[in-house]
Amino acid sequence: MIQALLHRAPQPILLLFVGLALITGVVLAAPVGLPGSPASAHAALASPESMFLYVSAGAVRSFDVATGTAATFVTVPDVVPGMPSRALSGKATSYSVRPLSGPMRTYLTEEATHPGQPTAHVLTADLAFASRVSPDGGTLLYVVEEFVPDEGIVNNLYLWSAATESAILKLENADGADWSPDGTRIAYLSYPRAAQDPQMVMLYLYDRATGFSSKVSTARLTALHEVNIYSPRWSPSGQWIAFQRYDFEHETVSLVRTNPAGTAETVLLTAPMGTVGQGMEWVRLPGGGERLYVESLVPGGAPYVLVDVGGVGPGSAGPDVLHGAFSFPAQPKFVDVGPSGTFAREIYDLASLRVVGGFDDGSFRPGQPVKRMQYAKMITIALGLHDAAWTNYDHPTFPDVPPPPVKDDASRYPWDYIEEAAAAGLVKGDTAGRFKPAADISRVQLALMIARAGQGQLDPATPSDYQTFGDTAGLTQEARDAVALAYHNGIIKGKTAAAFQPYATATRGQVAVMTWRLMKALGLLG
């Protein structure tokens, strides 16, 4: 099932504004891994070029587009990692974390200063964003919001050198930026320049050898007084720069590919505003082709998905990546779930993936029951089953779950999620064919849905697993198999050592931890 989920069609994309932080000083540089800065993981990313880093549920993960495989790069407890960057050479990685308290930190691990020996740097942060590591790994780009008398807040671009542990260049009135693959030029945005340019060009190329900047005339503002070009990303071949153009009048976002000379451009995608995220990354495939990935959000509140939106040259598209973002996912916070509380990690991980949510008063209410329709939504989002289609709209599966009269995102719940779960074989009706969406889900019903989701992906149960709980003997064979399978794979536990209590109501906290364990077992979490 999960292998099929990794080849989903591209979905719409959510806008996400990112706050990285101003690097105010180097805390430490050392030729060994620092806490949260994994030299060993860094070494594993030396190749291939088809690999990128992304954020998912309290971890920075790597994904190899050529093989379709993901792996945990580093797990960072109690913080939200963001804006991961990898040198094209594979010899440097960087990412930033926003702790629940204290300043933001940026971790850079590079081999430029000591060839063949990863050196880790930790930099404190305050008001910067859009950090990018250079192709050789020795320099970090970042943008700083700074106050200038008589001008107010302006954005300036800095280059920080790992060798000197200091900023070596400042470009004034410069915004989001990226490196050319040979490291000789920097693509950057400048609204102040565009506002004074009759052509309203916002994208510029800075030549490090000459110190001069040139315009990329294809990257023009849609209108003045609207900063509407974002996220320049230089392709690995150096032939293309991708960027995003926001049209506030028509409320659309276009992903545009241009050549550095500014003489040719292609619109890869145009989508409604509020559906396109600012995070983008290029990768180069073994066949020589290049692919561009962007952040996506499935309609109806599902998690981020990294979607292939186009490419150049030979090589096939890789699978879309479930539960991933290139920038900061929203930091969840629940007033009744402290950082060290029961199931805190599981609840916060799932909340960052939008698998679970809270209430309007800021609470999660872990002891409250879960309705069957609520878990249908949770599990379809967790498994990546939810998409933009309206499943079985003209042929509803359950008589007590009618389709909504209007097809809009606000009407998707609960009908669309229940139909998706039914189509995937995760849920069934009672003897009368009813789903009973408002009924509290029981522990055995939860086990059945978990087992169906993991069918063929989880390790089979052993005879001893069937003997663990004395109160499951009267269940149907499918239910007994489900409890044994989920128990064997560490997804469920008993209410006591010998009692499963199959008909007891499952709480929101229990459901969160069981779903989290299922996702871990299926490789959907770091």
Is it the case that residue 150 has pLDDT exceeding 80? no
- Any idea which residue has 């249908």 for tokens? 376
Q: Say which CATH number the domain at 301 has.
A: 2.120.10.30
Rounded mean pLDDT, 205-219: 96
Q: Is the residue at 334 inside a domain?
A: no
* 256: pLDDT strictly greater than 60: yes
User: Is the domain of 304 the same as that of 163?
Assistant: yes
Q: Has residue 318 got a pLDDT over 50? A: yes
**Mean pLDDT within 487-511:** 92
First to last CA, the chain: 19
Rama region for 454: left / alpha / beta (φ>0; ψ in -120 to 50; rest)? alpha
> Using 50, 70 and 90 to split pLDDT, how confident is the model at 126?
low
Q: What is the pLDDT of residue 338?
A: 87
Q: Would you say 58 and 346 are in contact if contact means Cβ atoms under 8 Å apart?
A: no
Q: Tell me the per-residue pLDDT of 29-67, one tens digit each, with 9 for 90 and over.
A: 444 444 444 444 544 455 567 889 999 888 899 998 888
Report helix, strand or coil for 214: strand
Domain residues for 392? 344-521
Q: Is the pLDDT of residue 176 over 50?
A: yes
- If asked whether residues 295 and 424 sit together in one domain, one would say no
Same domain, 279 and 381: no
The three-state (H, E, C) secondary structure of 323-389, written as one string:
CCECCCCCCCCCCCCCCCCCCHHHHHHHHHCCCCCCCCCCCCCCCCECEHHHHHHHHHHHCCCCCCC
At residue 267, the pLDDT reads 94
Neighbouring residues of 217: CB distance < 8 A, sequence distance ≥ 6: 199, 201, 262, 263
pLDDT of residue 88: 87
What are the Cα distances from residue 379, in Å, to 351, 409, 425, 427, 519? 13, 18, 12, 10, 10
**Shared domain check, 432 and 309:** no
Pair (500, 396) in one structural domain: yes
Gap between the Cα atoms of 266 and 272, Å rounded: 18
* pLDDT over 80 at 253, yes or no: yes
85 within a domain of the structure (yes/no): yes
Residues 359 and 214 in one domain: no
Question: Do residues 42 and 122 both lie within one domain?
Answer: yes
Q: What is the pLDDT of residue 471?
A: 93
Q: pLDDT class for 125, splitting at 50, 70, 90?
A: low
Let me know if residue 330 belongs to a domain.
no
4 pLDDT above the threshold of 80: no
Percent of the chain with pLDDT over 90: 53
Q: Is residue 526 part of a domain?
A: no
pLDDT at 129: 67
User: Residue 212: inside a domain, yes or no?
Assistant: yes
Neighbour count for residue 423 (Cβ, 10 Å): 14
Could you tell me if 315 and 352 lie in one domain? no
More confident residue, 512 or 74: 512
The neighbour count for residue 367, using CB atoms within 10 Å, is 11
**Among 289, 322, 355, where does a domain finish?**
322
Mean pLDDT of all residues in 267-286 = 87
Put residue 27 in one of left, alpha, beta given phi > 0 → left and psi -120 to 50 → alpha.
alpha
Do 434 and 473 reside in the same domain of the chain?
yes
Same domain? 413 vs 314: no
Average pLDDT value for residue range 303-313: 81
Asked whether the beta carbons of 26 and 288 are under 8 A apart, the reply is no
Residue 445 makes CB contacts below 8 A (sequence gap 6+) with 372, 506
Identify the band that residue 304 occupies on the pLDDT scale cut at 50, 70 and 90.
Answer: confident
Complete DSSP assignment for 415-461: HHHHHHHHHTTS----TTS---TTSBPBHHHHHHHHHHHTTTTSPPP
- What are the pLDDT digits (tens) for 416-461? 999 999 999 999 999 899 999 999 999 999 999 999 999 889 999 9
Q: Quick one: average pLDDT of 3-30?
A: 34
Residue 308 clears pLDDT 50, i.e. is over it: yes
Q: How many domains does the chain have?
A: 2
Proportion of the chain above pLDDT 70, given as a percent: 87
The number of residues in the chain equals 526
Q: Is the per-residue pLDDT at 209 higher than 50?
A: yes
Does 434 map to a domain? yes
Predicted confidence (pLDDT) at residue 84 exceeds the cutoff of 70: yes
Within a domain: 338: no
* Euclidean distance between CA atoms 88 and 97, whole angstroms: 22
Q: Is the pLDDT of residue 194 over 80?
A: yes
Tokens of 312: 């150049």
Q: Of 288, 322, 356, which marks where a domain is finished?
A: 322
Within-domain flag for 327 = no
- Same-domain check for residues 305 and 382: no
Name every residue whose Cβ is closer than 8 Å to that of residue 98 and which is 6 or more positions away in sequence: 19, 21, 79, 80, 82, 104, 328, 331
Confidence at 320, pLDDT banded by 50, 70, 90: confident
Read off the pLDDT of residues 386-421 as tens digits, 9 standing for 90 and up.
Answer: 988 899 999 999 999 999 999 988 899 999 999 999
Considering the domain architecture, whether residues 411 and 489 belong to the same structural domain is answered as yes
